[in-house]
Amino acid sequence: MDIGSIGIVGAGQMGNGIAHVCALAGYDVILTDVSQDALDSARKIIGQNLDRQVSREKITSEVRDEALQRIRTTANLIDTAKSDLIIEAATERETVKQAIFEDLVPHLAPQTILTSNTSSISITRLGSRTDRPQKFMGFHFMNPVPVMKLVELIRGIATDEETFEACKGVVDRLGKTAATSEDFPAFMVNRILMPMINEAVYTLYEGVGNITSIDTSMRLGANHPMGPLELADFIGLDTCLAIMNVLHDGLADTKYRPCPLLVKYVEAGWLGRKTQRGFYDYRGEGDPVPTR
């Protein structure tokens, strides 16, 4: 099918990034969130990121202005229902995602494809709670969306070929690369990445190395652009813990047991950059300071 309009549910870091790249690729975008403040912030962030692309001569000011004009925001979820494609990018909690799809279903156009940007939750299970499991799939962008080139496409057990090809066409038009994953806990990227982060937290927890040593070792010893603890703060420690719990529950293997120290940080509300404290403290004027 020909996709011309995209509805995005959730105006946080992922949602505003998805809106940015979709508008830049020529799609009409409607972005919704329960919080008007989140919508206002998302529009501001998208404008700033587009301005940055203009300053770096990645796009022209005319292209920026056209992209901004293609983005409409609304606090009413149902306003997105007639879009050709809906990408849910709400918080990584299955009950929240199920509630969103259940609210949307009675209002959807017959041709609308439903997708989730979930990083770990079963696509088959989410799709089964809708009226169109054959038109439901995982559409997992990487963070930050405007920069990262990969999109994981995850088929549920009922996803049909037409839906897959339509979503693959969107990825191509965005100028990104699709990687196809089977529908198993955490898919591919996070199946590999999150246990590495969890093991880094265990390395800290067991006193093998401190935060600075662990991150420096992986940056300089494995040529990673970010150390694993710095990356965990960037992702959000609550998100890391949620994905580890999905892996542990879904695969029943003790190697996926979340580190108790990761649990403790989340219990403290030290979730990383978004709360100004995680494995690093970001509240000062200078460089972030390790918290252990």
| Token duo for residue 270 | 């030290």
Looking from the CA of 279 toward its CB, the CA atoms found within 13 Å total 30
Fold topology of 194-290: N-(1-d-carboxylethyl)-l-norvaline Dehydrogenase; domain 2 (1.10.1040)
**pLDDT, mean of residues 219-246:** 96
Using one digit for the tens of pLDDT, what is the confidence trace for 175-223?
Answer: 999 999 999 999 999 999 999 999 999 999 999 999 999 999 999 999 9
**pLDDT, mean of residues 36-40:** 96
Using one digit for the tens of pLDDT, what is the confidence trace for 45-73?
Answer: 999 999 999 999 999 999 999 999 999 99
Q: Residue 227's closest CA among 181, 269, 279?
A: 279
- pLDDT of res. 92: 87
- Are residues 129 and 111 in contact, defined by beta-carbon separation less than 8 angstroms? no
Phi, psi (rounded to 5 degrees) for 132? -145, 60
pTM equals 0.90
- pLDDT of res. 166: 97
Residue extents of the structural domains in the chain: 5-181, 194-290
**290 prior amide bond cis, ω within 30:** no
Using one digit for the tens of pLDDT, what is the confidence trace for 92-103?
Answer: 889 999 999 999
| Token duo for residue 20 | 């940015």
| Token duo for residue 62 | 């005319």
pLDDT at residue 254 is higher than 80: yes
Using one digit for the tens of pLDDT, what is the confidence trace for 129-185?
Answer: 999 999 999 999 999 999 999 999 999 999 999 999 999 999 999 999 999 999 999
Task: Select from 3.40.50.720, 3.50.50.100, 3.30.460.10, 3.40.190.10 the CATH code of 5-181.
Answer: 3.40.50.720
Residues of the chain with pLDDT > 90, as a percent, come to 96
- pLDDT of res. 135: 98
Residues taking part in catalysis: 119, 140, 152, 190
- pLDDT of res. 280: 98
- pLDDT of res. 56: 95
pLDDT at residue 1 is higher than 80: no
- pLDDT of res. 186: 93
- Are residues 158 and 136 in contact, defined by beta-carbon separation less than 8 angstroms? yes
